[in-house]
Amino acid sequence: MSSATYRLTLIHRSLDDAISKEMRRRRPDSFKLLRLKKLRLAVKDRLAALMRRSRAS
């Protein structure tokens, strides 16, 4: 696993944790959740692109 892949995996995991934490609140902030989920998706897409690129090499 490359260092970029590892860093993105850590970021994805921390975003997952932040989403879970926000969901456990009595009144979750829907805008914050939306922002976190979009960021997590962007990180996931970047990870997938890195994986495709590394397989093609």
Question: What are the DSSP calls for 2-56, one per residue?
Answer: -HHHHHHHHHHHHHHHHHHHHHHSSS--HHHHHHHHHHHHHHHHHHHHHHHHHHH
Average pLDDT value over all residues in the chain = 95
| pLDDT for the residue 54 | 84
Model confidence pLDDT, tens digit, residues 15-41: 999 999 999 999 999 999 999 999 999
The residue type found at 41 is L
Helices 3-24, 30-56: axis angle to 10 degrees equals: 160
Task: Enter the pTM of the model.
Answer: 0.88
Residue 1, classed as helix, strand or coil, is: coil
